[in-house]
Amino acid sequence: MKRDLLSIQDLSGGELQNIVDSAIHLKALREAGTDHALPRKCTLGMIFEKASTRTRTSFEVGMFELGGHALFMNPNDMQLGRGEEVRDTARVLSRYLSLIMIRSYLHETAVELAGYAEIPVINGLSDREHPCQILADIMTMKEEFGTTEGLRVAYIGDSNNVCNSLLLAAPLAGYEMAVASPEGFLPDDDIVTQAERTGARFDITTSPKEAVSGADVIYTDTWVSMGSETEHDARIRAFAGFTVDEALVQHAQDGAKVLHCLPAHRGEEITGPVMDGPSSLIWNQAENRLHAQKALMMMLLE
Ligand code: CP
Ligand code: NVA
């Protein structure tokens, strides 16, 4: 039976920990200059409906380092862009590739692709979730704190894809979570209900100070996600007061760390001094995309 990663909840808590531990091991091997290849040659197709720096580069480098090959596929250069159906594309690509990663506007596109593909499909970000990002985030927290059990994570900003996956991963990784967003940008009830069904409880507020109180980790993301560019000015107004700056970090636990999935907009959701300062784990977090996705691909290709 092939496995997909469309939602972070496609993994059990044990599988999530195994991927993170394997990623930490792969990182150590890479730092020691040791190769770790897949037992057979594999190919990864990467379909990007939207821009990417980290996801594209880390998947391509990751597959190369595992001894395989990755293909960047722009839907506009494929027959997909001329109306070939997702299900037909899925069936055909399954005859060439070992694995598909897709970054789509609609989550349903990734779900449809996975439904018709005979090979594993990975969600490389959709409007609903960003599970690969959260694997790297959990790895980064584990490296810093030794465990994610019992940590308090405060997410400040727009509660869309990244926040959704962070909420859904909370019961799997054992951290508590608080979310602060302006009215109209709070987490969707269905995501909160789905995560709470597995025992998690969240503090959801419109006050960033309240959310970061007692936090070990403060997490933020852009206020203007890909696809929301026409709302730029209205969003900048709506999110005023939600910047992660040094004053906000002071309200968290002593030694609290800051995460951002990137790309960042200094002076909007986060300030330069916080990004570049001692509480930032952001660059390790970006690097960890590579290790976490290598571990994920190894698991899906087993
Ligand atoms: N964080 C992330 O997914 O970055 P990219 O959009 O650059 O891939
Ligand atoms: N929420 C952002 C994440 C980018 C990695 C977006 O969807 O654009």
For 214, phi then psi, to 5°, come to: 80, 5
CATH of 134-285, one of 3.30.1490.190, 3.40.640.10, 3.40.50.880, 3.40.50.1370: 3.40.50.1370
- Give the pLDDT mean for 197-224: 96
Confidence of residue 163 (pLDDT cuts 50, 70, 90): very high
Report the candidate in 19, 68, 105 with the shortest Cα–Cα distance to residue 296.
19
Q: Quote the pLDDT of residue 199.
A: 82
Residue 21 appears among annotated catalytic residues: no
Q: What's the confidence (pLDDT) of residue 206?
A: 98
Average pLDDT of the chain is 97
CA of 222 to the centre of ligand 2 (A): 7
How many Å apart are CA 21 and CA 226, to the nearest integer? 31
Q: Taking residues 126-133, what's their average pLDDT?
A: 98
CATH class (in words) of the domain with range 8-129+288-301 = alpha beta
β-pairing, 43-48 vs 69-73, is: parallel
Measured in degrees and rounded to the nearest 5, phi and psi for residue 129 equal -150, 160
What local confidence, expressed as pLDDT, does residue 200 receive?
Answer: 87
User: Is residue 3 over pLDDT 90?
Assistant: yes
Report ipTM (2 d.p.).
Answer: 0.99
CB 129 within 8 A of CB 164: yes
Q: What are phi and psi of 178, to 5 degrees?
A: -120, 145
Q: Is the pLDDT of residue 284 over 90?
A: yes
Where does the pLDDT of residue 275 fall: very low under 50, low under 70, confident under 90, or very high at 90 and above?
Answer: very high
Which of 130, 235, 260, 291 is an active site residue?
A: 130
Nearest ligand 1 atom to the CA of 262 is: 1
3-state secondary structure 228-241: CHHHHHHHHHHCCC
- E-state strands within the chain: 43-48, 69-73, 99-103, 121-123, 152-156, 176-180, 202-205, 217-220, 257-260
Confidence bin at 276 (pLDDT 50/70/90): very high
Beta-bridge partner residues of 150: none
Average pLDDT over residues 214-229: 98
Ligand 1-lining residues (CB < 6 angstroms) = 52-55, 125, 133, 261-263
Q: Which residue has the higher pLDDT, 35 or 282?
A: 282
Q: Where are the alpha helices (DSSP H) in 3-77?
A: 13-31, 54-65
CB neighbours of residue 108 within 10 Å: 14
Shortest-distance atom of ligand 2 to CA 160: 1
Neighbours of 3 (CB within 10 A): 15
Instruction: Place 249 in a pLDDT band, splitting at 50, 70 and 90.
Output: very high
Read off the pLDDT band of 300 (50, 70, 90): very high
Dump pLDDT digits (tens) for 25-76: 999 999 999 999 999 999 999 999 999 999 999 999 999 999 999 999 999 9
Closest CA to 2 of 124, 121, 123, 135: 121
Domain map of the chain by residue range?
8-129+288-301, 134-285
Residue 232 buriedness (CB in 10 A; 0-12 / 13-18 / 19+): exposed
- Which pLDDT score is estimated for 19? 98
